Each structure stands twice: as structure tokens, then as C-alpha cells.
Amino acid sequence: MTVFNNPASPLFSKALEIKKLILQRCNTFTQVKQFQGRLFRLGLHQDSYLINMILRSSLESGNTVHARLIFEQTTEPNIFLWNTMIRGFVANDCFCEAIRFYHLMRREGLFPNNFTFPFVLKACARLSDVHLGVRIHPQVVKAGFELDVFVKTSLLCLYAKCGFLEDAHRLFDEIPERNVVSWTAIISGFIEFGRFFEAIDMFMRLVNVELKPDSFTLVRVLSACSQLGDQEKGDKIRRYVEEMGMGRNVFVATSLVDMYSKFGRMDKARVVFDKMPEKDVVTWSAMIGGYASNGLPKEALELFFQMRREKVKPDCFTIVGVLSACARLGTLEVGDSASSLIEKNDFLSNPILGTALIDMYAKCGSMFQAWELFKGMKERDLVVWNAVISGLAMNGYVQDALGLFGQMEKLGTPPDGNTFIGLLCACTHAGLVTDGQRYFNGMSHTYSMKPRIEHYGCMVDLLGRAGLLDEAHQLIKDMPFEANAIVWGALLGGCRIHKNTQLAEYVLKRLIELEPWNSGNYVLLSNILSASGRWDDAANLRLVMNEQGLQKIPAFSWIEIDGFVHEFLVGDKSHPLSGKIYSKLDELSKRLKEMGFVHATEHVLFDIEEEEKEHSLGFHSEKLAVSLGLICTKPSVPIRVVKNLRVCGDCHTALKLISKITSREIIVRDNNRFHCFKEGSCSCKDYW
């Protein structure tokens, strides 16, 4: 009962005044208690309308305990009060309490209405309690609400959330007039359980019925396109987003950036990014991370510097992307500077951040810093262990990598496939064939783990480099799946080292079948033929390349000095310090000849005079980069160079001697492994 049904009551004006005050001022728990006291003084503490207002205010302030006390003091709560309590509990994430009150209401003999069902079903969905939802479903039908769009949508949400997608779809089809919430529920259900194709199909149907989805739905469906790798559908949704004017929505636009990044279409991602009127840190992070993960590290760092100029504070995801780019370019100074923007404790307590920094240090050849960070990590998950094992392996600390694996086993951390890739790479680095075979066989025998194609590739690489070409070839034949270009390429690398032109030609045919567009296959065989003196065959191979329009991938080398990345091509003279660089190379060349160094001219592809070959080898991009490092850095600072292709044998020997002549540590990372030259020796022990 309520006094508002009787305007003649002497309390009507007082009740009206309290109602007005509650609407205007009842915003805090203290005010709730004050108004509750006034109701008691006026004898209105059982007025259902005013009690409902007090209950709502109490629940909106988050005080569910006090709301329950008020409710329990009500002698005859009606359906509206029960609904207010159930709704309030759900709004405060007290889902079990909401369901308990629903049962209490039923025991009191009150039947739920179309306001009760949506909230109790929402509680069931949040608790994934499909069994209770199934018991409530007949009650919905019995109450005559099976055609109510809100009740039906709540049932649909429950079934979709719990994975009963066929039941959810059937309910969806039964709704006479579907709203955006209904469509969003079924689309989200399909996405939640990996049925991305159905989700996108439902979204297209939603568009066709001219309902306007909200930003949440658009973000989810763009995520589904990313998961499917369906760029055509992604482009369609992008056009729809622009037509609806949703491209200005930061969440939707960021999802588009993320989707195109996952497609590898950074050009399209950048167009969306540049059009955004407002960008938050998530947007910047998505773009930077996209560049880093798609092999565009320079662009990632340029964007990071722009982000800093625009005074946007990076978060941990930004830093992970930046560190990944620094690892790719070998820019230790930039990586150190970026990592200083995050508290050191965050790196020690966050495995994702810690792994990114360890990986960056390792790939920049600063394994001591990587190791120190690893020792300080408060939480070491498997990814952290794998990063350190791989880092030790690539930097030539092979026994340390193998020893760390033993420590990991003792601590009870089970390895995964990536752990064994690190171990096998360590064995390949040092030529430990027996150890490599033991780890490879132990995957299945000890850990019941089936080797992936990457593990076979590592073993083929190990055997091939050791000269066991027949064993490597047999391993490929025995693989339980078809070998890919990486596996055949590993065997081809072994053929190059040991000059087995017959097997190399066979391998090349398989490679051309798998990737006819890759000029590197032709170039490597041409090198093998040239090294064997088969210049006519090498020339014919170059002719085939020209006929098919294939160009040799240009070799680039990068060096970071004072936070700036310098890029070189073979014979490059575009650098402002080009004169000094070539003067330094001439000086080094004379000192190398005094030590008896002779250019390994078999590493030159073309059939030209010996003097021209020596000239070509003398100006390889990594030598230019090292010369700049010698000119512009202090003697105590290691010279770090990154090359996009393999360092040739001539450069390897020359740089090893240059490190001795200059008493400098020179670290070169190519597309295959690390070479740490120090005092005339190399970390790879010349086994490559």
C-alpha cells in the first residue's frame, strides 16, 4: 500500500515532499539513512512506493546489506520491492543473492513478472548456471512472457553465454521483434565459443535489417574477422563503420587498427589510425605493436617517438611493442630509454614485460643484462624461462642454456615445444649433434610431446651443418608431415656449407615448387654453382631469375648510435660520413692484408675478375656499419650491427680479425644467428 493512492490523506503532502527530496538529494548512504528516519517519524516506513525509492537509492550507493535490512523490515513487500532487490543485487554483482531472493519470493507465493525474469536470468548467465535457467524457462512460458522481447533476450543471453548455441539460435528465431541486444547476444555467443563465421554472418543479417549495432558489437565482430583472417569481410565492416559515422569512435577505430595489423596490412591500419580525431594509449599501442609484429621495426619506433612528442604516456603494452622493435633492430639504447618509462618493479613482477625486456637484451647481444633481469624476476613463467634459454643459445652460451634447462626441470616447470626449439638451436650453434638428437628424441619419449615441424627444421639444420647431409635428408623423408620451405632451406644451407651441389639442386627444385617467388633459393644455388666453378650454370640460373622477374633481396645492415639508426646497403655512399667510412675501411683492409687475410672470393655470386670480387666483398653492408661504429663510438662500447640476410664467410673472417686489430667487441646478428667477435674469436666457434 502507498499513501499516493489516497490524495485526501493528511500525509499525502508530506509524502510528496519526501519523494521530491529523495529524487533531488538522496545520493549518499548518509542521506539514505536520514530519509529513512523521516519515514519512521511520519509513520510512512511501510509505504511501498517510498520504501522502493529508499531501496533503490541504497542499492545504487552499493550498500546491499542496508538495503536487505530495510527490505526485511517491510511487513508485506510487493512484487515491485522484490524486483528492486533482485535488480540491485545483480547491479552490484551479488548474483547468488539475487537468485536466493528469487527463490524466497516464489516461496512467499508471489509470481515473477516480465521485470523479474530478465534480472534473475542475467544472474544465472553471470554464474553460468544453465540448469537453474532451464528450470526458470517453463515458468516464463507459464507466465505468458515467451513472446516478450526482453525476457526472451535474457533467456537467449543465458543459453549463448553457457554454450548452448543451438538453443540460443532457436530462441533468437522465435523472437518476433528483435532488438540490438538480441542480435548482440547471439553474435557474442558465437564469438565466445569460436564460431566466428556464424557470428559474422549474423552481423551481416543485422545490418540488412537496418538496425544500428553499438560499438561493443562492432568491436566483437571485428575481432571475429581477425580470428578468421577474413580481410574481405573486414573491409566490408570497415566501410559500414565509416558510413554509419562510427569511425570516430575510439574503441571501434582501435579495433580496426588491430584487425588490419593481424592481417599484416599495416598500410590500411595506418589510414584508419591517421583519420582518428582522438587516440588513446590503446590505439597507439595497437599501431606500434602491429608495426613491430609485422617486420616494420623502424616504423614502430618512429611512431613511438611521435607518441612521446604528443605527450601520450605509454603503458606496458606500448613498451612491449617498442622492445620487440628494438630487439629486431638491435637498438639497445632506444630499448633502455623506453624501458625507463616503466617502473623497474613492473618488469620484475610482470612476466610479459619482463620477457620482452629479456628478449630485447638477448637479441642486442647484452646477455649479462638479460641474465640479471631474469635473476630478479619475481614470477618466472614458462615464457620467461624459454626467453632466457633462447637468449643464451643465440649468444653462444650453449652450456649455460643446457644447464638452465636442467635447473628448470628440477624446479618442476614442465617444458613446451618452444623450450626444445631453444635447446636445439643451442646444439646447432655449437655443433652438438649427439645432444641435439637426445633432446629431440626426449620430446616424445620423456615428455610425450610430438615434435612440430620447427623441431624437425632445427634437427635438419644441425645435421646439415655437421655434414651429415644423408641423415638430414632421411629425417625429412621420415617426417610425419610434408616438409615446408624452412625445413628444405635448412638442408640447402648444409649443402652450401659442404658444397654438395647435386643434393642442393634436388632441394632447390622442391623449394621452387613451394615458393617459386623466392629469389633467395636461386641466389643460394647460384652461389654453390659459382663456388664449384660452374659459372655457365650459375649464369643460366641468373637468366631464369631475370625471365621470371625475380630480384635478389638487397642486403641491409643497421647500427644504432646515440639513439639513431643508420642503414647501409652494399657499396653504400649516401651516408654523410661516407668519406670517413671508406677511409676507415681502406685502413682496415691494409692491416688485414698485413695479417695475411685473403678475401674468400667464392662468396661473390657473379663471374667477374678476382680484383673486382675483392672490391665487392670489401664493401658489404655489415662492414660499412662496423666502420661507422669504429668512428663514432667509444672504445669501451660494443659495436652492435643487425643484418637482414646471412653474414657471408668472408665478412665473418674479416670481422673476427677486425675485432682483434681494434680491440673492440663487435656483435653482428643476421637472419640466422649471433656472431659475437671478441679478441679475434667468434661466439659461434666458426660452426655455421
Does residue 616 surpass a pLDDT of 70? no
pLDDT tens digits for range 176-190:
788 888 888 899 889
pLDDT in the model for residue 351:
92
User: How many C-alpha atoms does 549 have within 13 Å on its Cβ side?
Assistant: 1
Give the number of C-alpha atoms closer than 13 A to the C-alpha of residue 252, restricted to the C-beta side.
Answer: 22
- On whether the CB atoms of residues 627 and 654 are closer than 8 A, the answer is no
Q: Which residue from 248, 237, 256, 301 is spatially nearest to 279, judged by alpha carbons?
A: 248
User: What pLDDT digit, counting tens, does each position of 127-158 carry?
Assistant: 888 888 888 888 888 888 877 888 888 888 88
Rounded to an integer, the average pLDDT of 383-392 is 94
In this structure, what C-alpha cell is assigned to residue 184?
A: 548482440
% of the chain exceeding 90 in pLDDT: 38
- pLDDT the model gives residue 14: 56
In this prediction, residue 515 carries a pLDDT of 83
User: What is the percent of the chain where pLDDT is above 70?
Assistant: 89
* Beta carbons within 10 angstroms of residue 669's beta carbon: 24
Helix (H), strand (E) at residue 566: strand 564-569
Nearest to 204 by CA among 177, 230, 170: 230
Between residues 110 and 11, the one the model is more confident about: 110
The tens digit of pLDDT for each residue in 569-609 reads 888 889 999 999 999 999 988 888 888 776 565 544 444 33
At residue 422 the predicted structure's pLDDT band, cuts being 50, 70 and 90, is: very high
Q: Does pLDDT of 634 surpass 60?
A: yes
Report field, pTM of the whole predicted structure over 0.85: no
Indicate if the pLDDT at residue 175 is higher than 50. yes
Distance of CA 385 to the CA centre of its chain: 18
More confident residue, 220 or 25: 220
Integer-rounded Cα Rg, in Å, for the chain is 34
Residue matched to cell numbers 513472446 = 147
The secondary structure element, H or E, covering residue 558 is strand 556-561
In sequence order, which residues have a C-beta less than 8 Å from that of residue 357 and are 6 or more positions away? 323, 335, 339, 347, 370, 373
Q: Residue 21: its pLDDT value, please?
A: 52
pLDDT of 461 above 60: yes
Q: Residue 213's pLDDT is what?
A: 86
Mean pLDDT score across all residues of the chain:
85
* More confident position, 269 or 64: 269
DSSP 164-188: -HHHHHHHHHH-SS--HHHHHHHHH
Cβ atoms of residues 643 and 631 within 8 Å: no
With cut-offs at 50, 70 and 90, classify the pLDDT of residue 63: confident
Measured N-to-C along each axis, helices 64-72 and 48-60 cross at an angle, to the nearest 10 degrees, of 160
- Distance between CA atoms of 154 and 35, rounded to whole angstroms? 35
**Which single residue is written with the C-alpha cell 644441425?**
462
Residue 277, number of CB atoms within 10 A of its CB:
8
Give residue 22's pLDDT.
56
Identify the pLDDT of residue 609: 37
Strands (E), 194-275: none
Of 10-14, 329-333, 431-435, the range with the highest mean pLDDT is: 431-435
What DSSP string runs through 338-383? HHTTS-HHHHHH-HHHHHHHHHHHHHTT-HHHHHHHHHH-S---HH
Alpha-carbon gap, residue 340 to 319, rounded angstroms: 10
Confidence of residue 498 (pLDDT cuts 50, 70, 90): confident
Q: Residue 205 and residue 183: Cα distance in Å, rounded?
A: 9
pLDDT over 50 (residue 613): no
Confidence of residue 68 (pLDDT cuts 50, 70, 90): confident
